[in-house]
Amino acid sequence: MQNRISNILKDVTNILLPISCFGCNARLYGGEVMLCTLCRHQLPLTEYNFNEENAVDRIFYGRINIKKANSFLFFTDIGIVKNLIHNLKYKNQEKIGEFLGDWFGQILKKNGHLNNIDYVIPVPLHQKKFRKRGYNQVSLFAQRIAFHINATYADDLLIKTANTKTQTKKNRLGRWYDNRSLFEIRNSDMLKHKNILLLDDVITTGATMEICASSLKKIDGVGIYIASMAFVQ
Ligand SMILES: [Zn+2]
C-alpha cells in the first residue's frame, strides 16, 4: 500500500514537473528533460531514412501500395522505448510525443527527404477513447513533425468510427477485412492529389496503418507515407 501511494504521488509529481527519467526512472539533473543523459544516448534510433528500403517498408509489402515507411526508434519488450511509450499513453505524459516529434522532425528536416508532404495526419482515436485518455498520444508528435517539414497538420480528416480493438491474433487478410470500415475520411476533396504522412505510435503488425492507408487510398492521386515513433522488429 505504502508503495502504491508513493508510486501514485510520483506519477502526480511527474505530471506537474517531471523529475525522473521516463526511460529508467533515475532522477533528472539540471538540463535533463524527459530522459537522463544515459538514456538519451542509448535511445535505439533506427536511422532509417525515406530514401532507402528498410524493415518498416517490408512490413507493408504486398499488402498496401504506399510510397515509403519509416520509424524513429526500435521498440523492444523491455527498455527505454517501451517505458517512454507507456508513459506517453497511460501516464498522462503527452509531452513525450512533442519531445519525440521534435527530435525526429529535425532529422527529417535535415535530410530533406520529406519536403513534398502536404498533410501530416495522426492515426485517430475513437471519441470514447479520446475522452478517456484526454488526448491522442500521436497528436503532438505529428504536430511537431508537420512544423519541421513545413506541412499542414490535420486531425479532422481521418476519423475513427468504431471502437474495435485491432485484432492482432488473426492472419493479415482476416484482420483487414474485419476492420476495414473502422475509419472514415472527411473532406476528401482536400486530399486529392496530395501527399500524406500518416503517423502512429508503434507499428507492430502494421494492421492499423494498413486500414488507415487503404481508406485514404480511395482518394484520387493520393500518395501515402507512413511513419511511427517506434516499430517492433
Ligand atoms: Zn534514464
Per-residue pLDDT reduced to its tens digit, 136-179: 999 999 999 999 999 999 999 999 987 665 555 555 555 544 44
Cell triple for 103: 527530435
Q: How far is the CA of 83 from the centre of ligand 1 (A)?
A: 10
Backbone angles phi, psi at 150, to 5 degrees: 65, 45
Q: How far is the CA of 147 from the centre of ligand 1 (A)?
A: 27
Q: How far is the CA of 25 from the centre of ligand 1 (A)?
A: 6
Choose the most confident range, by mean pLDDT, from 77-81, 96-100, 129-133. 96-100
Judged against a pLDDT cut of 60, whether residue 228 lies above it is answered with yes
pLDDT reported for residue 51: 84
Q: How far is the CA of 58 from the centre of ligand 1 (A)?
A: 31
Task: Measure CA 201 to chain center.
Answer: 3
* Separation CA 185–CA 190 (nearest Å): 10
Answer yes or no: are the C-beta atoms of 119 and 151 closer than 8 Å.
yes
Q: How far is the CA of 79 from the centre of ligand 1 (A)?
A: 10
Q: How far is the CA of 125 from the centre of ligand 1 (A)?
A: 29
Q: How far is the CA of 85 from the centre of ligand 1 (A)?
A: 14
Choose the most confident range, by mean pLDDT, from 123-127, 159-163, 196-200. 196-200
Q: How far is the CA of 26 from the centre of ligand 1 (A)?
A: 6
Answer yes or no: are the C-beta atoms of 185 and 139 closer than 8 Å.
no
Answer yes or no: are the C-beta atoms of 139 and 123 closer than 8 Å.
no
Domain definitions of the chain by residue range: 1-42, 43-232
* Separation CA 60–CA 217 (nearest Å): 14
Q: How far is the CA of 35 from the centre of ligand 1 (A)?
A: 5
pLDDT reported for residue 180: 46
Q: How far is the CA of 78 from the centre of ligand 1 (A)?
A: 13
Instruction: Report long-range pairs for 172-181 (Cβ below 8 Å, ≥24 apart).
Output: 172/63, 172/205, 172/207, 172/210, 175/205, 175/207, 176/63, 176/207, 176/210, 176/211, 176/214, 179/207, 179/211, 180/211, 180/214, 180/215
pLDDT reported for residue 16: 59
Single-letter amino acid, residue 57 = D
The owner of cell 544515459 is 38
Judged against a pLDDT cut of 70, whether residue 61 lies above it is answered with yes
Q: How far is the CA of 86 from the centre of ligand 1 (A)?
A: 14
* Separation CA 151–CA 108 (nearest Å): 12
Q: Which of these ranges, 33-37, 84-88, 100-104, 164-168, has the smallest mean pLDDT?
A: 164-168
Class of domain 43-232: alpha beta
Q: Percent of the chain beyond pLDDT 70?
A: 85
The number of residues making up the chain comes to 233
Q: How far is the CA of 105 from the centre of ligand 1 (A)?
A: 22
Judged against a pLDDT cut of 90, whether residue 90 lies above it is answered with yes
Strands in the chain per DSSP E: 68-75, 119-122, 152-153, 158-160, 183-185, 195-203, 223-232
Q: How far is the CA of 104 from the centre of ligand 1 (A)?
A: 19
> Span 30-34, mean pLDDT?
89
Q: How far is the CA of 24 from the centre of ligand 1 (A)?
A: 4
Ion ligand 1, residue ranges at CB < 5 A: 21, 23-24, 26, 36, 39
* Separation CA 134–CA 92 (nearest Å): 8
pLDDT reported for residue 179: 46
pLDDT reported for residue 177: 46
Q: Which of these ranges, 81-95, 163-177, 212-226, has the smallest mean pLDDT?
A: 163-177
Supply the mean pLDDT for the chain: 88
More confidently predicted of 188 and 14: 188
> Span 26-43, mean pLDDT?
93
